[in-house]
Structure 1
Amino acid sequence: MQDTLAIAPAVRADIEARLAHVASEDGVRLLMAVESGSRAWGFPSPDSDYDVRFLYIRPRRDYLALKPVRDVVERPIVDEIDLNGWDVRKALGLMLKHNAVLSEWIESSIRYIADDPVVEQLADLANRHFNPRGYALHYASLGKGTVERWLDPGGEIAVKRYFYALRPALSVRALRLDPSRRPPMSMVPLMQAADLDRVLVDQVGELIARKAKTNEAGNTIRLPDIERLVADELSRAGEVPERADNTNFAEEAEALFLELVEKE
């Protein structure tokens, strides 16, 4: 679902212009361009960056060249706009490793260009073949890396630090409860998928409201209920069932990539 209200029209126009410039300057065709970060996750601050992420494909000749072409396109952050994109071959390779990042990009509600039809095919491929255990371990690794920075009890903590651990923890929980579905990207539907009790829902809601009014460095008091939830869920990623890799997964990904390249 497109979200045209979350991004100010002037900012959206700037981002769209920058994306068009990237496509022209780097000689690529954009397949998808979305917001990925606190604005798409549902807990932005007034000064949050615009984390613009995109998929692209190069002309067929680039994939046949003796010298491999770099598989990412990046631009320096200017006016809080951060542009970063992956070659579709890189994206498919990471999907085969059950990296959850592409899954999130596909699910983003904030989109800057119309999706190429291949995006729907990527979503279908991920739905049919993703490994819930692989996703859970991915999220647990993200969350634990953040938790290590705020383990000391007492005092205050940056609100964003809570969210950067809480979102991965809720993703693990959602996968435990329903391993047949990729976890939602945005916080509110993620809380629903994680079946949180009302006390926790209210606490997270208060954190979202606080973050919406303060800068990225804004602090909050420690919240033991949330910290216990985070610690518990990040330790339970191993409980999420494994889905054995299907040989068809790699074959379908390869066929999808070759079909795309043949059209360029």
Structure 2
Amino acid sequence: MTAVDVPGLREVVAEQPYQLLFATVSGAHLYGFPSADSDVDLRGVHLLPADEVVGLRHGPETLERMWQRDGVELDLVTHDLLKFARLLLRPNGYVLEQLLSPLVVQTSDAHAELAGFAGDCVTRRHAHHYRGFARTQWQLFGRTNELKPLLYTFRALLTGIHLMRTGVVEANLPVLVADLGGPSFLPDLVAAKAAGEHLTLSGGPAPELLWRTYEQWLAALVEAQERSTLPEQPTAEPHLHDFVVTLRLKT
């Protein structure tokens, strides 16, 4: 599946047990290198009613479900608003990418307001998130020789660099390659991965070139963090607190 069936996914999110502030598509579709057999990663925020927060029986902070629908594997994860707000205040690039994903399945006024706080959640410490994720994927590529972790490696590095330089979250690898002058071999690898989610690297860049390129962009991320004018700590906490309280009291 290389295109997102948004109308079909709207039916999926409508079936969820709690009100959703938003639902977006993450994963390979967001990153710009889905395969014909890629699953669809749906991410979002649900709102627990007040009686499932203040009483003895607390509702689920996180809901997770994986299943097949019309031959496509769906992976749905939603967090309660309070948990998601706390994650936003950490150097967690995933939640920023989910919140700001342009692949929107369901939205609301609350989604737009929450997205408006995103800029005040971005810090220099987010570079650690992207470095750590890139290293993990690079090690996975070393064990499997699969295209997927190799592309995830460079996607993480380039997203981190772009974020440190601009304060803007950009998760799409082809866009990042064009904006940052990324490795010239990546478009060919993106095209190759379209044929299958777990294809291995074959006839591509030599291992020595891949290693040098990885080290080069890892160093570039470290330098971008050192030069970044982003703050060390988020400043959105007071706004997020008021936002969570206001919405919770409305339920």
In the superposition, the TM-score normalised over structure 2's length comes to 0.86
Matched, 1:207 2:200: no
- CA distance in 2 between partners of 1:191 and 1:65 (Å): 50
C-alpha deviation, 1:142, in angstroms? 0.7
Q: Does residue 220 of the first structure (1) align with residue 201 of the second (2)?
A: yes
SS in structure 1 of the partner of residue 91 of structure 2: coil
Tell me if 1:196 matches 2:181: yes
Cα distance in 2 between the residues matched to 1:238 and 1:204: 21
The answer to whether the 8 A contact 1:30-1:54 is kept is yes
- d(CA) in 2 for partners of 1:252, 1:120: 14
* Residue of structure 2 equivalent to 1:164: 152
Change (3 A) 1:210 1:235: same
Aligned to 1:85: 78
Q: Give CA-to-partner distance per residue, 1:156-212, whole Å, 9 cap, x none.
A: 821112111111111222234x1x42330211222234x115xx24x1111111111
2:110 pairs with one of 103, 113, 118: 118
Question: Is the contact made by 1:137 and 1:237 (CA closer than 8 Å) also made in structure 2?
Answer: no
Aligned counterparts of 1:36 and 1:55: Cα–Cα separation in 2: 13
RMSD over aligned Cα atoms: 2.3
Does 2:99 align with 1:106?
yes
The one-letter code of the counterpart of 1:243 is P
2:243 aligned residue: 256
Is the partner of 2:117 in helix, strand or coil? helix
- Secondary structure of 1:165's counterpart equals helix
Please state whether the residue corresponding to 1:112 is helix, strand or coil: strand
Identical amino acids, percent of aligned pairs: 22
How many angstroms apart in 2 are the aligned matches of 1:227 and 1:184? Answer: 24
CA distance in 2, matches of 1:137, 1:97: 11
Structure 1 distance, partners of 2:32, 2:14, is 26
Q: In structure 2, do the counterparts of structure 1 residues 163 and 262 end up closer, same or farther at CA, with 3 Å as the change threshold?
A: same
User: How many Å separate the matches in 1 of 2:30 and 2:121?
Assistant: 25
Find the aligned partners of 2:199 and 2:36 in 1 and give their Cα distance: 11
CA distance in 1 between partners of 2:162 and 2:15 (Å): 39
Gap regions ≥5 residues in structure 2: none
- Shift of residue 57, structure 1, vs aligned partner: 0.7
Offset of 1:129 from its aligned partner?
Answer: 3.6
